[in-house]
């Protein structure tokens, strides 16, 4: 089975459906409460496992009930949890996610144990037989997790393993100082149209000139675009009723990973990613609800 190493956050999502997002100092009474497994890399790992790959997740949880539940759920979803460590001081990350009627989400989080993942946790055995390393952009926010991410990139490169990076919306300026010096070590970067400015780039061509091999732009319901040397492809999205956008970008990333590992052409790669992203927004929450091959169109 082809192995994929994923590095990033593991957390618990507390989702609250609210009629409208309140002004500062205001109040919103939720119409529904849902608790689920979450985290950008966690969500992608579950989809990667459900696509038929050996998903090896490198992360950290607290020595608490949430952490034990997260590892149990991940194991049940087919994710390899041998490289998930436990922090004796910091708690498992808890995200408060407010979801408005249009499916848009607003998140509040304390990163807890995630941010304490250290470079000593990046060991050669993790990469034995691996074909790809995937990073969540959240892992580039603070040390020591940032150091762990850089150690993983260096180890992947030493084994000629390509590196993909998913840039979550809202943190691009915070991770830019760490990311810009290593752009030439990133095989594929996934980001939103509005995120180029945060990387001092006018568009995909600037990132390609910096050494990135592929740039995949997430356009939500409008689909996606794929850029590489002498390649520029736009692929329309799927029409779906958006229930909750939580995990959509993470599912999209799993689709890009599938395309890369199966040597798909740019059109098929984006179509696969669009399909998984569309499936993710069609239900509430992420985590154990993340899509796999069952969500792919027959033509993919």
The helix or strand, by DSSP H or E, that contains position 270, with its residue range, turns out to be helix 266-280
Question: What is the spatial distance between Cα 246 and Cα 287, in angstroms, rounded to a whole number?
Answer: 9
| 107-140 CB burial, b ≥16 within 10 A, e <16 | eebebbbbbbbebebbeeebbeebbbbbbbbbbb
pLDDT band for 239, please (50, 70, 90 cuts).
confident
In the structure, what pLDDT confidence band is assigned to residue 298 with cuts at 50, 70 and 90?
low
Per-residue confidence (pLDDT) for residue 204, from 0 to 100: 97
| Structural domains present in the chain | 3-22+31-293 (3.40.1190.20)
Spatial separation of the C-alpha atoms in residues 285 and 300, rounded to whole Å: 25
pTM comes to: 0.92
Total Cβ atoms within 10 A of residue 21: 13
Reading the block at residue 22, the tokens are 């309140």
Distances in Å between the Cα of 234 and the Cα atoms of 60, 169, 224, 270 are: 37, 20, 6, 8
Q: Kindly tell me if the per-residue pLDDT of 103 is higher than 90.
A: no
Whether residue 284 is predicted with pLDDT greater than 80 in this model: the reply is no
How many CB atoms are located within 10 Å of the residue 294 CB? 7
The pLDDT of residue 181:
96
Pick from 54, 234, 193: which is nearest to 126 by CA? 54
The 10s digit of each residue's pLDDT in 111-121 is 999 999 999 99
Pick the closest to residue 140 from 9, 246, 256 (CA basis).
Answer: 9
Give the tens place of pLDDT for each residue, 29-54. Answer: 999 998 889 999 999 999 999 999 99
Task: Give the per-residue pLDDT at 300.
Answer: 53
């Amino acid at each position: 089975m082809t192995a994929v190493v994923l590095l990033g956050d593991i957390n618990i999502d507390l989702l609250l459906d609210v009629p409208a997002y309140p002004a500062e100092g205001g109040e919103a009474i939720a119409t529904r409460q849902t608790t689920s497994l979450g985290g950008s890399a966690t969500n992608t790992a579950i989809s990667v496992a459900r696509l038929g790959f050996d998903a090896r997740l490198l992360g950290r949880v607290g020595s608490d009930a949430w952490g034990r539940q997260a590892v149990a759920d991940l194991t049940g979803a087919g994710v390899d949890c041998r490289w998930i460590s436990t922090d004796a001081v910091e708690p498992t990350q808890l995200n408060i996610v407010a979801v408005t009627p249009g499916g848009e989400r607003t998140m509040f989080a304390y990163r807890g144990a995630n941010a304490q993942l250290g470079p000593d946790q990046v060991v050669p055995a993790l990469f034995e037989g691996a074909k790809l390393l995937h990073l969540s952009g959240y892992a580039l926010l603070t040390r020591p997790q940032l150091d762990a991410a850089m150690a993983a990139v260096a180890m992947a490169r030493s084994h000629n393993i390509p590196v993909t990076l998913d840039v979550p919306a809202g943190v691009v300026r915070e991770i830019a100082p760490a990311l810009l010096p290593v752009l030439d070590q990133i095989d594929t970067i996934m980001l939103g149209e509005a995120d180029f400015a945060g990387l001092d780039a006018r568009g995909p061509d600037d990132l390609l000139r910096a050494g990135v091999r592929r740039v995949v732009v997430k356009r939500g319901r409008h689909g996606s675009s794929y850029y590489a040397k002498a390649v520029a492809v736009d692929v329309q999205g799927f029409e779906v009723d958006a229930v909750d956008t939580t995990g959509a970008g993470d599912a999209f990333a799993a689709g890009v990973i599938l395309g890369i590992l199966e040597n798909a052409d740019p059109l098929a790669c984006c179509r696969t990613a669009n399909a998984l992203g569309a499936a993710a927004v069609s239900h509430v929450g992420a985590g154990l609800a993340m899509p796999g091959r069952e969500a792919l169109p027959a033509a993919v």
